[in-house]
Amino acid sequence: RIVRAASFLAVHNQQQRQRSILQVRNNMATTASTSPPTLQEGDILFGKFVIPANSIFYQSPQNKSYAFVNLRPIVTGHVLVVPAPIVPHLNDLSEEHYIDLWNTVRTVQTLLKEAYPQTTAFNVAVQDGVAAGQSVPHLHVHILPRAAGDAYAGN
């Protein structure tokens, strides 16, 4: 899975990313007007939005957490890690899902470092609830690979 994920990130060119974005946006528009959303094999829900299987580059061995490229990346390689249960807060997760989520974050950081060798640091962030800026009421961890001198150096 690690080799597959690193390969996915390394070859995830702009055209493929644009297709995934359009597919997710179409799913978002459809999901916003209908319920429940239709899931194809391998798709996951991010809140009420369908994330298609081809946008998911990593899933934990227990299928309790998933990673996909952020639709609105702040930096190249900005990804999200989500737990399978749709819960808004960290303390809503079971201990098992909590541990799996953070193990997945650590694994995804390793994958990002392999895919973006210039990476020397990461921003890892959780907006734990609406008042903290959470835009989708499904707990998610932002992982942003960083390098000295990047566009947001020092931020």
Ramachandran sector of residue 154 (left: φ over 0; alpha: ψ -120 to 50; beta: rest): left
- Report the distance separating Cα 3 and Cα 45, nearest Å: 24
Catalytic one of 97, 138, 140, 142 = 140
Residue 140 annotated among the catalytic residues of the structure: yes
* DSSP characters over 109-126: HHHHHHHSTT--EEEEEE
Q: Which residues pair with 142 in a beta bridge?
A: 80, 125
In angstroms, the Cα distances linking 146 to 8, 17, 76, 127 are: 19, 20, 9, 19
Q: What are phi and psi of 9, to 5 degrees?
A: -65, -40
As annotated, the active-site residues are 140
